[in-house]
Structure 1
Amino acid sequence: MNNKKIVKVSITICLVGIVCLICYLFSKNSKSTGISLSDDNEERVIESSDSESSDSKQETSTDLGKSEEGQTSVNEESIAVHVCGQVKNPGVYALTKGARVSDAIEAAGGLTKEAAGDFINQAQKLEDEQQVYVPNQEEVKESPEVIQQENGYNEGHSLNKDLININQATREELMTLPGIGEAKADMIISYREEHGRFATIEEIKNISGIKDGVYSKICDLITTD
């Protein structure tokens, strides 16, 4: 009888011990898992915060760079040029420093059909506030010197830097004189064929259409020698 009681008590003690051991192990595993999850979440939150901070700094730096670059471009690298005359879209255009007349014409849509594009120096460098005037064919025939002055050409650019000999000049050479078109050039040639050489430059006023107004424009550009 006593032995049976002892066995029962021993079994009871063992069961209680097993239950306590299981509870202890379960409790330990739960705490370990909770710490791991908490640490992992905390690390993820920190990494996300660092990433957002880095992206924000990068975006700010990029925006500042664009702003500074745009300001430099506007203030230091651009010039304003007025393009008018025989171009498709006359107006004021912003061009980069060092641009040429050809760049201004291209910005204005190119030349029209009536433009005398070969008359102007398209390789000339532009300056801020400069005007580029593209004449038409008729203007070039009638007053080439006036158009050169409107475009700001100096004597080095003038077609008439050498005097025109009215006793020897061809029709094309005579047409480079201001106010002398094709018709007047033909009359000059006809006059010298009929009357011989011009004795003086004033004699050119004997030709119809060449009076004091035209003569005053060409007297310093012609010679009889």
Structure 2
Amino acid sequence: MPTPSDVDIWPLLGVRIQVSDVELAPIDDRTALDLGRLAAGGIHGNFLPFSTPWTRGTETEVARNVYRYHSRLRHELSPERWSLEFAARLDHTLIGVQSLTAEQYGTTRSAESGSWLGQAWQGKGIGTLNRIAILTLAFEGLGAHEVTTSAWADNQASNAVTRKLGYEPNGEERLDREGRVTVQKRFRLSREMWERRGADLRPHVDLQGVEALRRWLSID
């Protein structure tokens, strides 16, 4: 009997998503360490775009937060609850993270996207490419019925990408952000809305390794 390959053991490792000159690939231990250094170099200024302040602290503390987070998600991944985390690379240079998370996906067919980019790659349209890549995985690869996302009301860059891709408003909440009340806006993109845009309005996305991932996550 042949020895199991890395992908046999952990099918997520075989997934690749390519759009234009951006590639999304799964995060292993080595990549998680490198992403920690990237995050420690800066993702934002005083404005905190995340729900938890994981980017606060010394460079070592921030890098450690990133590594610990990805290690935990790998241990917790199951068909009932998963977070598919991908490292984004532009021409082979590591630039950030794009994720897709879900609970009881086999029933709900609903997932949530999230992302971050190093500051040097913000404002260049890369966030839009990353979002298109993960939406293609969700709708075309995993058969999603909807994908949701959220952002603080003052996160103009994230909300601009969301509006550009045709999401509809899906409510909002007043939440604590570092001791101050802040509005978090929620958005929803249905399969019908995605398909209405048409493939001709989106850059071509190449998906690899998705069938093995579907079997592993028990997605019919």
TM over 0.5: no
Work out which structure has the larger RCO, using CA pairs closer than 8 Å and 6 or more positions apart in sequence. 2
| Structure whose CA Rg is larger | 1
Greater strand share, structure number? 2
TM-score by length of 2: 0.25
TM-score by length of 1: 0.25
